[in-house]
Structure 1
């Protein structure tokens, strides 16, 4: 496995975004929320943030994060174990855990409207136990780069939403670091309302926005990736 795996095909990304739906309960209000990621109204370039490599490039981050001797020669089993455990640990919380490409990355999508209140970058206290489980997984499987993406809906000005999306991504990154995840592994990016067209189809066949969310992309690193980074 080489750095070429960081550039997945659009077809693979679309396959990632399945069509099943489910409702979960907001741990704070008891309100039902949309969970799964049946995506409609996808415009050109919508999946760009998934198709590219790690934020800021892979090479420097691999070296800076100190990933080395413990990285596995083959991604396979650790990847399968981590995605299985993440799904089990976050079951019922509204978190979606998905495979990106062919073991290229794991996408952990924190639920719309549950992680944050409208206009806020403060993580809802009722969601912290779920984030603790994610942090424990990232510590248990240290050979990966972690990208945290923030998104908003279109309420407010574009400039305000851009700043809010960055603050949401930063809040999640800071919390993971506070729980013991190496900060050098984590990068953040806010997309503002750029992906406001991202929608989920409900059981009533109604498209609802999936916008006030944060996504965590976990990109596994192998010994081959480490060697390639050191050679550059």
Structure 2
């Protein structure tokens, strides 16, 4: 049995075992939870690594199976933690305009400009601070992650001004997270200006979507 076949069997078995997991936070339309997706991805990667690192060149299938098992466990654990953290964030945040997206390998919290800042301002509104404190509590509950706070604007006005504004807004959000107890060493604040639009800048609706701050939560172990 070659390692591709072994990996396929391992992934199929893991999918069957994971059929009872909660699919409510999939975020992909696949019908699988992140726990299942992580297990399957980990199994496949682990099988490949197990085969390519075969020490005796005689038991490729066995080494692939071992790698699949180790990879599946690691992938399932990471996926399950992201599922749990996303669910906890969804319950803690009160503003329905804040989006929480589970991207599989990280969580994306999208905060529109309208709930955070006045026009051309980098001062976070009082109501938005409550939700940022909820995010901070969640980050402290799940401490094994690094956090990127990324500011974005639309393309109205000068690009240099937009970049500076996005940087100041990201720093303001990061400052609230640290004030709420998140270790500063976990957080990086960056501005992208108008360089990474989420929608077309040709419409008012698209420009509104582009004016945002994103909090990216990436597990570290």
1:118, 1:212 within 8 Å by CA — same for their partners in 2? no
More helix as a share of residues: 2
- Using the TM superposition, give the Cα deviation of residue 169 of structure 1 relative to its aligned residue in structure 2, in angstroms: 0.6
- Backbone CA RMSD of aligned residues: 2.7
- Match in the other structure for 1:76: 79
Aligned-partner SS, 1:130: helix
Tell me, yes or no, if structure 1 residue 189 matches structure 2 residue 190: yes
More strand as a share of residues: 1
1:116, 1:213 within 8 Å by CA — same for their partners in 2? no
d(CA) in 2 for partners of 1:16, 1:81: 13
2:94, 2:131 within 8 Å by CA — same for their partners in 1? no
Q: Residues 87 and 152 (structure 1 numbering): CA distance in 2 closer, same or farther, change over 3 Å? A: same
Larger RCO, structure (CA 8 Å, separation 6 or more): 1
d(CA) in 1 for partners of 2:98, 2:198: 20
- Using the TM superposition, give the Cα deviation of residue 207 of structure 1 relative to its aligned residue in structure 2, in angstroms: 4.8
Give the structure with higher Rg (CA).
Answer: 2
1:111, 1:213 within 8 Å by CA — same for their partners in 2? yes
Deviations, residues 148-182 of structure 1 (Å, cap 9, x unaligned): 10011223211111000000111111110011001
Q: Residues 90 and 175 (structure 1 numbering): CA distance in 2 closer, same or farther, change over 3 Å? A: same
Count of residue correspondences: 149
* Structure 2 segments unaligned to the other structure (5+ residues): 1-25, 30-72
1:97, 1:109 within 8 Å by CA — same for their partners in 2? yes
- Using the TM superposition, give the Cα deviation of residue 144 of structure 1 relative to its aligned residue in structure 2, in angstroms: 0.3
Map of 1:6-155 to 2, 5 A cutoff?
74-100=77-103, 103-155=104-156
Q: Residues 93 and 130 (structure 1 numbering): CA distance in 2 closer, same or farther, change over 3 Å? A: farther
Aligned-partner SS, 1:114: helix
- The TM-score normalised by the length of structure 1 is 0.58
* Structure 1 segments unaligned to the other structure (5+ residues): 1-14, 19-71, 201-205, 223-232
Deviations, residues 2-30 of structure 1 (Å, cap 9, x unaligned): xxxxxxxxxxxxx9699xxxxxxxxxxxx
> Which runs of structure 1 show a deviation greater than 6 angstroms over 4 or more consecutive aligned residues?
15-18
Q: Residues 113 and 199 (structure 1 numbering): CA distance in 2 closer, same or farther, change over 3 Å? A: farther
Q: Residues 198 and 189 (structure 1 numbering): CA distance in 2 closer, same or farther, change over 3 Å? A: same
- Match in the other structure for 1:174: 175
